[in-house]
Amino acid sequence: MPRASRTSSVAKMRWKRILPMATTLARGFEPVRGTGARHRVKPWPVSALTGKFHRLDLPPESPVKQFVLFVGDSHLRALVDRYVRMPDGCLSFGFLSTPGASAAELRTELLNADIPRTPDIVCLLAPSNNLTATPGIEAAGVAFDGLLRAARSRWPKVFVLDFPPRLASELAPQQFLREEFRRVAAKNGVKYCVTADRFPLDSRALWSRDGIHLSDDLGMPLLAKLLWHFSFQQLQSPLPVTPPPVSPPKSPPTVRPFATTVVVKGEVSRPRPLDPFKETVVGRRGKANGQWLNSCFVVLNPIRFSTDKLAAMDRIVPSNLDVPMGNRSKVICVILILTV
């Protein structure tokens, strides 16, 4: 195995065991700060369920616009407070935002949220806080699986949008976490939309000074466009059709074999076997064995036959042969029929 591949595999196994950034910063890694601006955070109500700031913001009902609900962490805060506007169009947007929440905490808020109408589609913003909230990638995948199942239990159409990269954390655990989220989404039949490549790491103006949150002037408008684009795209795609469960074929009823016994009482009359060498004619009047050839039904009229014809007949069947009279009469009858 090449050295680079072996090193990558070892690093991946290490990140699977231990994930929080506070204990896994590589030697020599220095957090990078962004250069963009971010608004001053407004106070929000504190949730009694998770102890974190939480806010549910729903748009007015519109008969001509489709309703999209976004569920996520602090990346949605600028959109909820209207520091950044969603693009206009045929969609209306609601937000369920819990800053600092992990997948398990988002699940709790989602299951207890009072949303009076069903969204046309729900977008889950992948929770990047699991980088520090869970002890490993596998545990983060289990928590994310619970969040997806909770969302699908409430609404029929759900998809996931990838979280923006962080400049202040190492890239390896972020990539491993994305791969785990994507695997869990595929297992649940949910579309996972990748967006990390839309935020180039060398464009530091896309992030605020903390290197975690996007800037209000460049980063958040880009995220808002991606939210609008992927929501509209997923609304146009049909729901995945789940085939109905196939019941096992029914086995045919068992038929018990039985034998038929014929009991004959009294004398049984058997039909007399026919002689294959005797001619048999079956007609209206029954059977006559060889009787029709013994008599010829052609009326012989010697006046109608000339001497020449009688001489020709005598040449074919001479009268002086030792032929039984019955057979001679048969031949003569045939000749007479042919000559008439």
How confident is residue 171, by pLDDT bands cut at 50, 70 and 90? very high
Identify which has the larger pLDDT, 339 or 193. 193
Determine the Cα–Cα distance for residues 153 and 151; give it in Å rounded to an integer.
Answer: 5
pLDDT in tens, 32-84: 899 999 999 899 999 999 999 999 999 999 999 999 999 999 999 999 999 99
Q: Whole-structure pTM over 0.75, yes or no?
A: no
Determine the Cα–Cα distance for residues 30 and 7; give it in Å rounded to an integer.
Answer: 21
Determine the Cα–Cα distance for residues 135 and 326; give it in Å rounded to an integer.
Answer: 121
How confident is residue 19, by pLDDT bands cut at 50, 70 and 90? low
- Asked if 21 contacts 173 with a C-beta cutoff of 8 angstroms, the reply is yes
pLDDT in tens, 161-170: 999 999 999 9
Closest-CA residue to 127 (of 155, 148, 150): 148
- How much of the chain is in helix, strand and coil states, percent to nearest 5? 35, 10, 50
pLDDT in tens, 281-305: 554 444 444 444 444 445 555 555 5
Domains of the chain are 11-22+30-236 (3.40.50.1110), 280-339 (no CATH)
Residue 123 has pLDDT above 80, yes or no: yes
